[in-house]
Amino acid sequence: MTQPESENLSVKLFKNQKQALETSGLVPYLPSSVEQMSSNDDDRRWYRELRRPQWIWQGVEPIELESILARIASSDKNRSRDEWLDTVSGYHSGNWAYEWIHAGMDHQKKASELEGDEAAESLFKASLYFSIAGYPHIKGDNLATQAQVLANQAYDMAAKETSHRIEKILVPYEGKKITCYLHLPSTEKPLPVVIVSGGMDSLQTDMWRLYRDFLAPNNIAMLTLDMPSIGHSSHWPLTEDSSCLHQAVLNHLPSIPWVDRFHAAVMGFRFGGNVALRLSFLESSRLKACVALGAPIHNILSEPTKLKKMPKMYLDVLASRLAKQVVDINSLTSQMQAWSLKNQGFLSGGRKTSVSILSIGLKGDPVSPKSDNKLAALFSQYGKGVELNAKTLYSGYEEALNQMIEWIKEEMKQ
């Protein structure tokens, strides 16, 4: 392991960040928009949406998670917004990025004392912690950008240590290249492949556990890519043609010798689910199945009043992905209607896709209500919309993933 190099990189990246701008104040709004948003966050103690179940499921240790959050919450350093615990300014103890990066460094150090798959697992965990350090990955957030560098570096180091084969695939698109990671449990013959993306506030390097525990045991390859405007895909803005990068990757599959292009599926979480569903209509002849979890499909995108009530972090992420300079919330929420798959004409009229769609939401989720998932299923010749009523979000996440993998396995047999 080359531990000193990574430590030096960390020192170099964060050397001049004592006074780094604080994430929650990076997206400027018109004064009239600030007034409209003021009541949204009255009861909130955190600027960031704390995704405990998701992070634990992805590999964060529960006790360590609570310990990190406790250090942030109990900090006596200056906050840019006193009411939000995770707004400690500057790169030092109590700051969100600082605490997560230091925890990630601990796992990276641990990896230097291990070998093979054990070292890889520690590095994959470090990469996840670095990714969360940059969450929600707002443009112009220097600490987040540098945390992404660490996340990608740790992932590349893990790829060299693991017994699984991980290839970096560069797909040409509009004069640049889309960076993807292809995960292969075996290479004796071309494998069925699932193209996977997360939301607009997560990185493709967050998907290791999905592959390790769900896809690899079923001898299915996983190809990940970042959403437009984030991570490796930050060159491209998010537009209404939200699936353009994924479409380019799908078109590139015949050039990849390790995968069976005739057995391809798409899987998306949050906004990645919106993209996966869109692709199921645009490229129905190339896909066997589509699964979406917690995807914004129509409801929240088409009703500006609902969007305006979302926490500031969500609105900041949308504005950041659309590269807004100063945000007028009325304009922003109206503009999002163009991302509704119903408004785009995919989920209306008589045309159905031949791709088998499974669309899942967790009960009470305002982003992905039951009506949206039923609508998506209705326009698939063999579709299913599911609302999970799990006792805890964590068990809901686990149950959803099990259903999603079973769906893909079944469709891949066709």
* Cα distances (angstroms) measured from residue 385 to each of 35, 58, 111: 38, 24, 42
Pick from 217-221, 239-243, 272-276, 320-324: least confident: 320-324
Residue 342 lies in a domain: yes
Extract the tokens encoding 330. 């009325």
pLDDT of 40 = 66
Q: What is the percentage of the chain residues whose pLDDT exceeds 70? A: 93
pLDDT of 351 = 86
Q: What backbone phi and psi angles, to 5 degrees, belong to 388?
A: -95, 130
> Which domain CATH number covers 173?
3.40.50.1820
Burial of 45 (0-12, 13-18, 19+ CB in 10 A): exposed
Q: Do 292 and 303 belong to one domain?
A: yes
Q: Do 205 and 221 belong to one domain?
A: yes
pLDDT of 396 = 76
Q: Could you report the per-residue pLDDT of 76-109, keeping only the tens digit for each?
A: 999 999 999 999 999 999 999 999 999 999 999 9
Mean of all residue pLDDT scores within the chain: 91
Q: Could you report the per-residue pLDDT of 210-253, keeping only the tens digit for each?
A: 999 999 999 999 999 999 999 999 999 899 999 999 999 999 99
Q: Do 273 and 315 belong to one domain?
A: yes
Q: What is the mean pLDDT of residues 176-192?
A: 96
Q: Could you report the per-residue pLDDT of 379-396, keeping only the tens digit for each?
A: 999 999 999 886 665 677
Host H or E run for residue 182:
strand 176-184
Residue 9 lies in a domain: no
Prior bond to 366 cis, omega within 30? no
Domain that includes residue 356, residue range? 164-413
pLDDT band for 283, please (50, 70, 90 cuts).
very high
Q: What is the mean pLDDT of residues 298-324?
A: 92
Q: Could you report the per-residue pLDDT of 99-157, keeping only the tens digit for each?
A: 999 999 999 999 999 999 999 999 999 999 999 999 999 999 999 999 999 999 999 99
pLDDT of 2 above 50 = no
pLDDT of 6 = 56
Q: What is the mean pLDDT of residues 176-205?
A: 96
pLDDT of 352 = 94
User: What whole-number distance in Å separates Cα of residue 375 and Cα of residue 298?
Assistant: 9
Residue 24 lies in a domain: no
Name the 3-class secondary structure at 32.
Answer: helix
**Residue at which a domain ends, from 163, 191, 214:** 163
Q: What backbone phi and psi angles, to 5 degrees, belong to 129?
A: -65, -40
Q: What is the mean pLDDT of residues 250-257?
A: 96
**Residue at which a domain ends, from 163, 189, 223:** 163
Residue 339 lies in a domain: yes
Q: Do 242 and 263 belong to one domain?
A: yes
Q: Do 147 and 201 belong to one domain?
A: no
Q: Do 340 and 360 belong to one domain?
A: yes
Q: Could you report the per-residue pLDDT of 345-355, keeping only the tens digit for each?
A: 999 988 899 99
* Alpha helices per DSSP H over 15-141: 31-37, 52-58, 62-73, 96-111, 116-134
Pick from 32-36, 295-299, 376-380: least confident: 32-36
> Which domain CATH number covers 132?
1.20.1440
